[in-house]
Amino acid sequence: MLSHEVKQSDALLNLRSYVGRFAPSPTGPLHFGSLLTAVASYCDAKANRGKWLVRIEDTDIPRIYPDSKNHILSCIDAFQFEPDAEIIFQKDHLGLYEHVLEQLKNANAIYACQCTRKILGSNHIYAGTCRDLNLDFAEQAIRLKVADQLICFDDRLQGQQCSNLKHDLGDFALKRRDGIISYQLAVVVDDYLQNITHVVRGADLLDNTARQIWLGSLLNYPNLNYMHLPLAMNDQGQKLSKQNLAQALDIHRAPELLQQAILALGQPFVELDQPRVMLQQVVQQWDVDLIPKGIHLTATFL
């Protein structure tokens, strides 16, 4: 099905019109790190005369934080981002994900897994314990088979990235035992459904990319172009995240926070103004080569 090395090519990408996206999860309010991703994904799309879409990734129902969706939508409005299509919610696509799982089942690319966290212990590489047991799919986790081969892609900021999923991770879950669809499956399917060509997101998701390329290749989905941004860090050396209680974006300080994000991304200074005007100026002078390289930003943020 695939060659010994799975490597993405930019040739076909260059023939497709740019479609980017911002895809936050409502497991907490948006913070400054989220704003960096929103600004970079928006400006990169608009600078390339492309479309910018917004998707709320809300399949992990137990982790959804009250009012997070409202905060996300309020931030989109307050920072005056202008999506080029209606905002979609992944919870509305659960039937589509099940359909894709059925496709993969028919192709013998997935299997049911009864392993619990207690059984797996601290092992981060799945040993394929259930791969050949032919368990019934009902009320079990579902894992995707991986192969012993190299998956490579050229990240626009981080350079070439390669991973052998069999050695680095093992077969990975597409659906949990409790029925929750995994991030890996939902993001690949929705990027395909929305005709996404370019993904701009935080470097904390860099190690997810090989999994998504592998799944996309099995489904014969088009290749994507990736750019993983350096992460905003707090004064304790932790990435800004909901888990680390990063401050929620204050929509009443939108111009000031937008200016900080623009500078953190290494872009030329933009005077305080209406966010829409500021974004227009950033788009006009957007330069990916100015974005700091590496996984982390050196400055600290709240």
Query: Which residues are annotated as part of the binding site for ATP?
Result: 242
Greatest alpha-carbon span in the chain: 63
Name the DSSP class of 214: H
Angle between helix 254-264 and helix 32-47 axes, rounded to 10 deg: 70
Pick the closest to residue 73 from 85, 53, 90, 56 (CA basis): 56
Which tokens sit at 80? 């005056």
Q: What is the DSSP string of 30-51?
A: --HHHHHHHHHHHHHHHHTT-E
What torsion, rounded to 10 degrees, do the Cα atoms 2, 136, 90, 230 define? -50
Sequence ranges of the binding site for Zn(2+): 113, 115, 126, 130
Q: Which residues are annotated as a binding site for L-glutamate?
A: 21-25, 57, 183, 201
Q: Which residues sit in the known binding site?
A: 21-25, 57, 113, 115, 126, 130, 183, 201, 242
3-state secondary structure 275-299: HHHHHHHHHHCCCHHHCCCCCEEEE
Residue 220: strand, helix, or coil = coil
Contact 72, 249 (CB under 8 A): no
Residue 301: which H helix or E strand, with range? none
